[in-house]
Structure 1
Amino acid sequence: MSDLQKRLAKAKIDQSRSQSSSSSSSSSSSAMNRIPEIETEEEDQLGSFPPPTPDDDSSSASSVSSTGTIIPSPGRALFARPQTGSINRSSLERIPWTAYFERDLSLVSDEITHHVYLTSPVSKGVLFVLHHGAGSSGLSFCVLAQELRKRLPTAGILSLDARGHGLTTCVKGGEDLSLETLSKDLEEVLKLTRKEMGWEEMPPVVLVGHSLGGAVVTDYATREEVLGYAVLDVVEGSAMDALQSMHTYLATRPTGFASLKEGIEWHVRSRTIRNGISARSSVPGLLVETEEEGKKKWKWRTDLAATQPFWEGWFVGLSTKFLSGKGGKLLLLAGTDRLDTELTIGQMQGKYALQVFPEAGHFVHEDLPEKTAIALVDFYRRNDRSALVLPPKVSQLLAQGKRV
């Protein structure tokens, strides 16, 4: 072999080795670039927030949210597999309700003391009235309340604890969670809040209800006129079907947790709540600290199994009521796979607005608070009558001596 041939052969071998090395390096570099991506996603999910202040009232600060009423169809994957990867437990500290609301109120009536969280509207701003689902509490809407105020600074937020939930207490009748009773409670909360705050008249109201809360605000809107009402991730057909699986879900759910952090971590890992900031704000309200055999344990605050006698009554006739209620209507879902015929026809006829967030779980307002806030603010603005300039009436024109 000539010297020229030897040099050409050597050059080809060196080139081949260089390409192999480059490919390996590129593959390694690509893998390394993917690792921070995964870590970043976890950091975003758990998020960061100012630590709780030491002088917060622990009972109030821990009154947050809970498990949902409705288990979606399998395609919705609310109770999905635990996510892979580690969770930074140091970022699982509770966030107090004072980070989101101006004040909390105890509104006393004959048989019940309603507990609500309130940020007052500014000037003639709208009041968003938020009603949680079964097992939750008023602070299920913490992050949503913050996002609403970012986009509509004049808005007020009133988020209530239903009877048998949160810090609302009953002298008697606490076990009555029928739709009729809860709807009357909502009416009473609005009247007592107006009286407590000294408002001359009630601000324009937009009702927002999640799951069971959606059924409550819809029932109220069939009796009283409001600016609008929004129902979050519940329709009659899927609700009735999902109730058949409720016992299975409750049987497989942990009965309690060794610590509050463990409870928050379980909700994030199981993807019951897919937003870490919201989980840190709401999960403590799902749990109450107890002591058994000298050991502290965090158990569920609300016994969902005990509410079974009311499950069917919450949702029967919901679709018809939703379409016939007074005021603008918004249905916000995590999926349309179980949208029933009546609502499908109603949507095609333009009787209500429909928005779908397929990337969310059942707790759409906790999983995607920013998108939910944008949808609600847009919904309010479409139905806001204060900006309308109506033409003068004929009688007014005649009184002014003008020809008609």
Structure 2
Amino acid sequence: MSDLQKAWAKNRLGTMPVETFDEREEEEMGTVSELPEHFDDDSSSASSASSASSTGTIIPSPSQNLFARPQGVPRGRTFQPIPWTTYFERELFLHDETLPQSPTTHAYLTSPVGKGPLFVMHHGGGSSGLSFAVVGDQIRKRLPSAGVFSLDARGHGSTTIPEGQALDLSLETLADDLLTALRLTQREMKWAEPPPVILVGHSMGGAVVTELARSGRLGSALLGYAVLDVVEGSAIDALQHMHTYLSTRPTGFQTLETGIEWHTRSRTIRNSVSARTSVPSLLTLEKNAEEEGKAEGKPADARPWKWRTDLAATQPYWENWFVGLSAKFLAAKGGKLLLLAGTDRLDTELTIGQMQGKYNLQVFPEAGHFIHEDLPEKIAVSLVDFHRRNDRTALVLPPKVSDLLKQGKKV
């Protein structure tokens, strides 16, 4: 660069206004700009994209403000909780009076219309039925006749067990709870017969719906089952890292909004709308502890919002959930769909089964573990397409010979 060019550039830069960033701005507002509803994961889609075009060179255009502050939606509505009534018609509290020791299962329901299917959702460990709120709404937008049933497993959400009873989270017990909840819902809603069912389970819930499908207890009502981001091999390998993850997770939060913020900032849930919907059901305000602390002269808890589910206490059941999952998934009757966040999660048994065409596989590398919350629209499309491929009402069967004879037609 010549001396003349350097002098011109120095003079030009000196006249440009400099925008300063005051960190107090956001602190005074009390909120931060909202994250985009869907954003890429640096460890998945971003890395995939870079490796796919590693021989190319990307040159930004002058119009791209690469160092500008991100522009979100207006402040003040960022992490406000979204009520369950936005997505479901009703909530149910289901209890079998003939079994006093059975839980009172809390569930959300939007009933199917006519002969529409019922998507039965089971969440993963530590989550709740509202984990499927947004994806369920997206399913109904694409299939208006569909119903959505999503429960809180025992020890999760608002489901309760009799006082003094030990918490049993074994796979067989959870599968029994799901079946009982469906039968009680049929009685509560006065359905003459059960609607066609598509079972959908995420993580631990994937093991539960597979167990129920394998048992055959839903009979001809079961059209198929979908498992979201869990396979036996990778799940068991991940268990050894669970304690590390739990040790890095906050023990509580100051408000519901800060709990929602943590889930989005930590990229646990990468969709802000899903986080605002599902996270409030994961936390509970411990008022009693705060009042006892005041009575004893102790300072108030700065983080009174605690986790409803003690994930560390579920450790005795972790292997029970996942050992043998791949074999059961392949052996159970009905249509099979496996949705993953990455192909590296496939174990040998499922890889062979996929090559043999025993189930449908779709991969969403831009999502994290909560793929149905990160990408509700895409997962809804996959589930609706899966239903259509397995919908028996769409089959056109030839007329029976006896019916043709009654109509006086020649056979």
Q: TM-score range by the shorter chain?
A: 0.7 to 0.9
Give me the whole-angstrom Cα distance separating, in 1, the residues matched to 2:166 and 2:368: 30
**2:372 alignment counterpart:** 365
- Superimposed CA distance per residue, residues 145-176 of structure 1 (whole angstroms, 9 cap, x where no aligned partner): 11111111111000001111111111165510
Q: Note the residue ranges of structure 2 that are not aligned, 5 or more in a row.
A: 18-32, 46-68, 295-299
Q: 1:176 to 1:374 in 2, by over 3 A?
A: same
Matched letter for residue 186 of structure 1: L
Partner of 1:332, secondary structure, is strand
**2:108 alignment counterpart:** 117
**1:63 alignment counterpart:** none
Partner of 2:394, secondary structure, is coil
- What is the correspondence of 1:368-379 to structure 2 with a 5 Å cutoff? 368-379=375-386
Matched letter for residue 138 of structure 1: G
Displacement of 1:259 = 1.4
Displacement of 1:20 = 6.0
Partner of 2:274, secondary structure, is helix
Query: Is the 8 Å Cα contact of residues 92 and 261 (structure 1) preserved in structure 2?
Result: yes
Q: Note the residue ranges of structure 1 that are not aligned, 5 or more in a row.
A: 1-11, 29-41, 48-73, 78-83
Q: 1:157 to 1:191 in 2, by over 3 A?
A: same
Query: Is the 8 Å Cα contact of residues 214 and 331 (structure 2) preserved in structure 1?
Result: yes
Q: Does 1:352 align with 2:352?
A: no
Q: 2:87 aligns with which of 97, 100, 103?
A: 100
**RMSD (Å), alpha carbons:** 3.1
Alignment length (residue pairs): 348
Displacement of 1:45 = 2.0
Query: Is the 8 Å Cα contact of residues 46 and 91 (structure 1) preserved in structure 2?
Result: no
Partner of 2:237, secondary structure, is helix
Query: Is the 8 Å Cα contact of residues 92 and 107 (structure 2) preserved in structure 1?
Result: yes
Give me the whole-angstrom Cα distance separating, in 1, the residues matched to 2:13 and 2:393: 65
Matched letter for residue 87 of structure 2: Y
Range that drifts further, 293-302 or 195-204: 293-302
- Superimposed CA distance per residue, residues 207-244 of structure 1 (whole angstroms, 9 cap, x where no aligned partner): 00000000000000012241010000000000000011
Partner of 1:112, secondary structure, is coil
**1:38 alignment counterpart:** none
Query: Is the 8 Å Cα contact of residues 178 and 313 (structure 1) preserved in structure 2?
Result: yes
Q: 2:312 aligns with which of 283, 305, 313?
A: 305
* TM-score normalised by structure 1 residue count: 0.79
- Superimposed CA distance per residue, residues 113-155 of structure 1 (whole angstroms, 9 cap, x where no aligned partner): 1111000111111100000001111011111111111111111
- What is the correspondence of 1:218-257 to structure 2 with a 5 Å cutoff? 218-224=210-216, 225=219, 226-257=222-253
**2:268 alignment counterpart:** 272
**2:51 alignment counterpart:** none
Partner of 1:91, secondary structure, is coil
State percent identity of aligned pairs.
Answer: 65
Give me the whole-angstrom Cα distance separating, in 1, the residues matched to 2:270 and 2:7: 45
**1:67 alignment counterpart:** none
Give me the whole-angstrom Cα distance separating, in 2, the residues matched to 1:86 and 1:256: 29
**1:45 alignment counterpart:** 36
**2:153 alignment counterpart:** 162
Q: 1:193 aligns with which of 185, 192, 207?
A: 185
Q: 1:320 aligns with which of 306, 317, 327?
A: 327
* TM-score normalised by structure 2 residue count: 0.78
**1:59 alignment counterpart:** none
Query: Is the 8 Å Cα contact of residues 179 and 216 (structure 1) preserved in structure 2?
Result: yes
Give me the whole-angstrom Cα distance separating, in 2, the residues matched to 1:264 and 1:402: 67
**2:61 alignment counterpart:** none
- Superimposed CA distance per residue, residues 185-214 of structure 1 (whole angstroms, 9 cap, x where no aligned partner): 111011000000000011100000000000
Query: Is the 8 Å Cα contact of residues 230 and 345 (structure 2) preserved in structure 1?
Result: no
